[in-house]
A and B are shown apart, each in its own frame.
Chain A
Amino acid sequence: MKTILSMAKPLDGLLGAQRLKEGEPCRLMRYVVQQPVEGGLLLYHVLTKAVVLLDEDEAHRLSADPASVPGLVEGWFAVPLSHDDRELALQVRAVGKMLEKPVRRVRSFTILTTTDCNARCFYCYEKGRSRIPMRDETAVEVARYIVRNAAGESVRIRWFGGEPLYNKGVITRICRLLQDAGVGYKSEMVSNGYLFDEKTVEEAVSLWNLAKVQITLDGTESVYNRAKAFIYPEGSAFRRVIGNMHLLFGAGIRVTVRLNVDRHNAEDLFSLADQLGAEFGGEPLLNVYSHPLFESCSVEAAVHHTDLERKALYDSRMRLQQKLQEANLFRQGKFRHSLKLNRCMADNDGAVVILPDGHVGKCEHYTDSGWFGHVSEEDWDEAVRVSYKELREELDACRDCAFYPDCIRPVKCEESVHCYPEEREEKLAEIRTQLLSYYRSHEVSD
Chain B
Amino acid sequence: MKYQIEIEPLASRFVVAVKDPSTGDIRKCLAVNQTAADMLRLKREGLDIPSISRTLSEQYGAPEDRIASDAEALFKKLGLD
Contact = CB atoms under 8 A, between A and B. Distances in A.
Interface of A: 10, 13-16, 18, 88, 91-92, 94-95, 98-99, 102, 104
B15 A95 contact: yes
Contacts of A104: 23
Contacts of B62: none
B26 interface: yes
What 4 pairs between A and B have smallest CB-CB spacing?
A102-B24, A14-B31, A95-B8, A94-B8
A91 B25 contact: no
Nearest to B6: A98
A18 B11 contact: yes
B13 to A, nearest CB: 6
A13 B9 CA distance: 14
Among A16, A94, A95, residue most surrounded by chain B Cβ atoms (within 10 Å): A95
B29 A15 contact: no
Contacts of A88: 11
Given A16-B13, A104-B23, 14 more contacts: A10-B29, A14-B29, A14-B31, A15-B11, A16-B11, A16-B31, A18-B11, A91-B11, A92-B10, A98-B6, A98-B8, A98-B15, A99-B17, A102-B25
B39 to A, nearest CB: 18
A95 B26 contact: no
Given A18-B11, A95-B15, A102-B23, A13 B6 contact: no
A90 B17 CA distance: 18
Among A18, A92, A94, A98, residue most surrounded by chain B Cβ atoms (within 10 Å): A98
Contacts of B8: 91, 94-95, 98
A13 B31 contact: yes
B24 A14 contact: no
17 contacts: A13-B31, A14-B15, A15-B10, A15-B31, A16-B13, A16-B31, A91-B9, A91-B10, A92-B10, A95-B8, A95-B10, A95-B15, A98-B6, A98-B17, A99-B26, A102-B23, A102-B24
Contacts of A15: 10-11, 31
Chain A interface helix/strand/loop/mixed = helix
A104 B20 CA distance: 14
Contacts of B6: 98
A13 B17 CA distance: 13
Chain B interface helix/strand/loop/mixed = strand
Interface in B1-24: 6, 8-11, 13, 15, 17, 23-24
Among B10, B13, B26, residue most surrounded by chain A Cβ atoms (within 10 Å): B10
A99 B28 CA distance: 10
A95 B31 CA distance: 11
Interface in B22-61: 23-26, 29, 31
Contacts of B17: 98-99
A45 to B, nearest CB: 14
Among A92, A99, A104, residue most surrounded by chain B Cβ atoms (within 10 Å): A99
A249 B12 CA distance: 54
A238 B36 CA distance: 66
A59 B25 CA distance: 43
Contacts of A16: 11, 13, 31
A18 to B, nearest CB: 7
A87 to B, nearest CB: 9
Nearest to A92: B10
A105 to B, nearest CB: 12
A250 to B, nearest CB: 46
Nearest to A19: B12
A16 B31 CA distance: 9
A307 to B, nearest CB: 39
Contacts of A92: 10
A92 B31 CA distance: 13
A14 B26 contact: no
A151 B9 CA distance: 37
A237 B9 CA distance: 57
A230 B59 CA distance: 74
A49 to B, nearest CB: 15
B25 to A, nearest CB: 7
B52 to A, nearest CB: 22
Contacts of A98: 6, 8, 15, 17
A98 B26 CA distance: 9
Nearest to B31: A14
A161 B30 CA distance: 46
Contacts of A102: 23-25
A18 B11 CA distance: 9
A16 B29 CA distance: 14
B16 to A, nearest CB: 9
A118 to B, nearest CB: 45
Nearest to A91: B10
